[in-house]
Amino acid sequence: MTTSIVQYTLSNETNDTISIINYGARLTSWVTHIDNKKRNIILGYSNINDYLNDTFYLGAVAGPYANRLNNAQVHIDNKAYALNKNEGVNQLHGGHKALSDLFWHLDYHQKNVLSLSITLPDGYNGYPGKTTFNVLYSFTTNSKNQSNLDIKFTITSNKKTITGPTSHPYFNLNGITNSAQGHVLTLAAAHYTPVDTHAIPTGLIAPVANTPFDYTNARVLNKTDKLDHNFVTEQTLNLQTIKQHATLTSADEKVMLSVLSNYPAIQVYTGQHLKGAFNAYDGICLEPQFCPDSPNNPHFPFSYLTPQMPLQTHISYCLTNLKS
């Protein structure tokens, strides 16, 4: 098992580049070209070894189950499983030393494709089943002004279990040397899941209309938008179809990011808790996912992983140069 960080670079037909490391299968940069100048749109550490002590899931694959699970507990076929607690009594992003903080195995690396995998033993952080996670990164172009990063997860297990990883990059389309203020956000979500004081869903799937969480029409983000909330794109699960969740446009209106997936929801986090090497609000996370705490809320759209039915999820980040 590799215990040192290795960085891989992907490039596409427009010579944009993406960097990914084997530690947490993390996205560390995305360099595009705006007005013939390079612009990095993903927050990262200047020293690659700083990822070993990262507490913000910077660019990481978050999981096995992304987001929060109430009381770090789930029931599968009427059997209770106590999971690792890493946020008070709850679990966040799979617990301590989860997918974000482990070294992944290299399957293969080509110019615009990278495949990484990792296997967690039965009972790791409380999750049943020996479970293998594969992530396939593909970096392509639709046209001279549009780059696509497709992230495809294939997950298998020898027992019925829960899973649902996501990608956790912090985007700053203004360029990471600039303030992240002034982005324009639109969400294709008419509902959201309200949370309690510990950010655990109350169990409701509530309309965003007439609430501060209505981003169905484009809104400029500023420091009054303190988001760390889950927005529901569809209430009936359909993993066969990829659908749009969000668009994010830079303050200078030169670049737009579209976020799509086959997940039913997306977490939007405006980075207000960043500190240390970063400032609060330096980046914005757009994380397609199952709703937080779905296994404990039977009416949330969710699918268990079984030996007979692998889980396959697909996240697409599509970047458009609006001035080309």
Q: What number is the average pLDDT over the span 301-305?
A: 97
**149 and 169 Cβ atoms separated by less than 8 Å:** no
Quick: pLDDT tens for 91-146. Answer: 999 999 999 999 999 999 999 999 999 999 999 999 999 999 999 999 999 888 89
DSSP, residue by residue, 53-70: G-SS-TTEEE-SB-SEEG
Can you tell me the mean pLDDT for 140-163? 95
* Residues of the chain above pLDDT 90, percent: 94
Mean pLDDT, range 81-98, rounded to an integer: 98
Place 1 in a pLDDT band, splitting at 50, 70 and 90. low
Give mean pLDDT, residues 207-216: 97
Average pLDDT, the chain: 96
In the chain, the N- to C-terminal Cα span, in Å, equals 44
Instruction: Write the pLDDT tens digit of every residue in 310-319.
Output: 999 999 999 9
pLDDT in tens, 268-290: 999 999 999 999 999 999 999 99
pLDDT of residue 60: 98
Q: What is the average pLDDT across 198-214?
A: 97
pLDDT number for residue 208? 98
C-alpha distances (whole Å) from 111 to each of 4, 41, 153 are: 22, 20, 20
Please give the pLDDT value at position 324.
Answer: 60
Contact indicator for 220, 278 with CB cutoff of 8 Å:
no
**Edge-first strand listing for the sheet containing 113-120:** 105-109, 113-120, 131-143, 146-157, 311-321, 255-261, 243-249, 184-187, 219-220
